[in-house]
Structure 1
Amino acid sequence: MADQPVRRAGRPPSTVDGRTVPERLLGVARKLFAEKGFEGTSVQDVVAAAGVTKGALYHYFGSKDELLYEIYGRVLRMQTDRLEEAAAREGPIAERVHAAAADVVVTTMENLESTTIFFRSLHQLSEEKRKEVRRERRRYHQTFRAMIEEGQASGVFRDDIEADLIVDYFFGSVHHLPMWWKPRGRLSEEEIGRSFADLLLSSLTVRRPA
């Protein structure tokens, strides 16, 4: 996914080599955090690699902490927007859950570096930023859980398992992706997304007598 500029009040961000300063800072920070770790990367490392001043970094992000937060935050916001769009569509609930489940797998793999960096360094965020992340992730999970509950209420999904457990089980598998998935493997992102979604739906769908 292409980086989108951080939105701040005032004039539009200036550009460096065709990229806005926030885009350049985020791209450089992501690369350095992956190579050296969050703790091993200084603000000076980031601004030197980005070719900007410390004042520019602090204008757009305020701190190295906020850079880390934004690397993952933009991925989570994108995934939340896509989930809410899927949840609002018309059509059978099973199809909507399948689409949403496949999408979060694919978008996680497409942004694997950002996701891996963030979860590896989450404990180094300030308590305030950790709370923001938990709040945004809770919003995502609540929307996904509501879709499961809709399927249970309509008799399409089995209701002998709590929706919260279903959500935790599925997303535990999604969050484990960085531990084993490598780009250019035997299966594409789309094939793995469909397989995860198929497994979820096959475990949820009520089997009707023939």
Structure 2
Amino acid sequence: MAEEKTGRRRWPDGYDPQRTRSHLVSSALRLFEEHGFDRTSLQQIVGDANLTKGAFYHHFESKEDLLWRIQDEYLETQREGALAVVEKGGDPLDQLRALVQLSLEGVAEHRAHVAIFQQERRHLTGERLIEVTRKRDEVETIFRSVVQAGIDAGRFRSDVSARIVTFGILGMCAWAFQWFNPAGSLSIEDVADQFGAIVLDGLLQD
């Protein structure tokens, strides 16, 4: 990769829209997480990516549009993963364990996405907010359906609310972005095993 005298990135093999978009998203993720959405300017994003505002507006309508796309892409990966778990069928116990692992793997692989989703989604407005809320609710519904299936099948305790259990599981998994260290002594699989044990020990019918 080379640079023009203006400081703008110039790919040696020609303009690459996907690479340009990827650099803008990576810069936004880093800056939004470090400084917050409000305190990050569009100029800081393009400057950090070593690109121009023209390149930015080729891919995104605004800073809010970029925030929405970051959150939407993360939620879509979680939604697709959760759907794949339930579409396989099987014991609700195994499905719930797999969903816990899916959530924690999302935190490990997309930590900045999760942090920004938790801290910055209040800045979305209009249709963007509606769309992110819809996908978030879809993920919650998938989790809740598995918990309810376990209750209905007599695998989980009948004296718990599937809705409250679901909120507890998702909150516990999402908050791992605050403390999970990929370079630490525990792998995300180790954490998933322990979280799964905590959740399932509390849910299993005696």
Query: Is the contact between residue 104 and residue 174 of structure 2 (CA under 8 Å) also seen in structure 1?
Result: no
Structure 1 length normalisation: TM-score?
0.83
Which residue identity does 1:195 align to in structure 2?
A: Q
4+ residue runs of structure 1 moved beyond 6 angstroms? none
TM-superposed CA distance for 1:27, in Å, is 0.9
Q: Deviations over 1:100-155 (max 9, x none)?
A: 11211121222112211232222222243222221110000001111111111111
- Distance of 2:137 and 2:125 partners within structure 1: 18
Are residues 1:49 and 2:57 paired? Answer: no
**Corresponding position of 1:34:** 33
Are residues 1:154 and 2:153 paired? Answer: yes
Query: Is the contact between residue 158 and residue 205 of structure 1 (CA under 8 Å) also seen in structure 2?
Result: yes
- Distance of 1:204 and 1:182 partners within structure 2: 28
- Distance of 1:55 and 1:23 partners within structure 2: 15
Alignment coverage as a number of residue pairs: 192
Are residues 1:202 and 2:198 paired? Answer: no
Query: Is the contact between residue 103 and residue 174 of structure 2 (CA under 8 Å) also seen in structure 1?
Result: no
Which residue identity does 1:160 align to in structure 2?
A: D
User: What stretches of structure 2 of length at least 5 have no aligned partner?
Assistant: 1-14
Write out aligned runs for 1:8-23 (5 A). 14-15=15-16, 20-23=19-22
- Distance of 2:88 and 2:58 partners within structure 1: 39
**Corresponding position of 1:176:** 175
Are residues 1:101 and 2:100 paired? Answer: yes
Which residue identity does 1:15 align to in structure 2?
A: D
Q: Which moved more, 1:89-98 or 1:123-132?
A: 123-132
Two-structure CA RMSD over aligned residues (Å): 1.8
Q: Percent sequence identity over matched residues?
A: 29
User: What stretches of structure 1 of length at least 5 have no aligned partner?
Assistant: 1-13
